[in-house]
Amino acid sequence: MSTEGTRFSISMEVRPEDIDLMGHVNNTVYLRWVQDAAVAHWHILAPAEERETILWVVRRHEIDYKRPAFSGDTLKVETWIGKATRFAFDRHTTIINVSSGRILALARTVWCPIDRKTGKPADVSPAVRDIFSIPA
């Protein structure tokens, strides 16, 4: 796991159960990795009080699959926040095969902050914007 400014990355190992009938990682597993990296990024960097009051829901996923991953591959899943408006945070994710250095997938997910108590969209604090958003 690493954090560089607003970028964050985790390592993933492709497990046998990630493989589909085509003999490579199933597309839904890439989506799981995208979400796992986003959740880890939030839990590592967000202040405790924000984690207690804000939840995140996905409004949109876009994934471009470039190359397959196979059982035993080690991957780097890197994520960062791009454009952030009041209720829409664009999160970008790149999944890279560590041994080859090749990009396997590129993703863009739009997340919305939700107030844990009301279940409605919520503003995040300036501290959260400073931690996660790329300056305009």
For tokens 């995140």, the residue is 56
pTM of the model: 0.90
- Mean pLDDT score, 1-6: 53
- Locate the DSSP E strands across the chain: 2-4, 7-13, 54-65, 74-84, 89-97, 103-115
Confidence of residue 134 (pLDDT cuts 50, 70, 90): low
pLDDT digits (tens, 9 = 90+) for 64-80: 999 999 999 999 999 99
The residues near 79 (Cβ < 8 Å, ≥ 6 apart) are 7, 8, 9, 34, 37, 38, 41, 91, 92, 93, 94
Q: What is the CATH number of domain 2-132?
A: 3.10.129.10
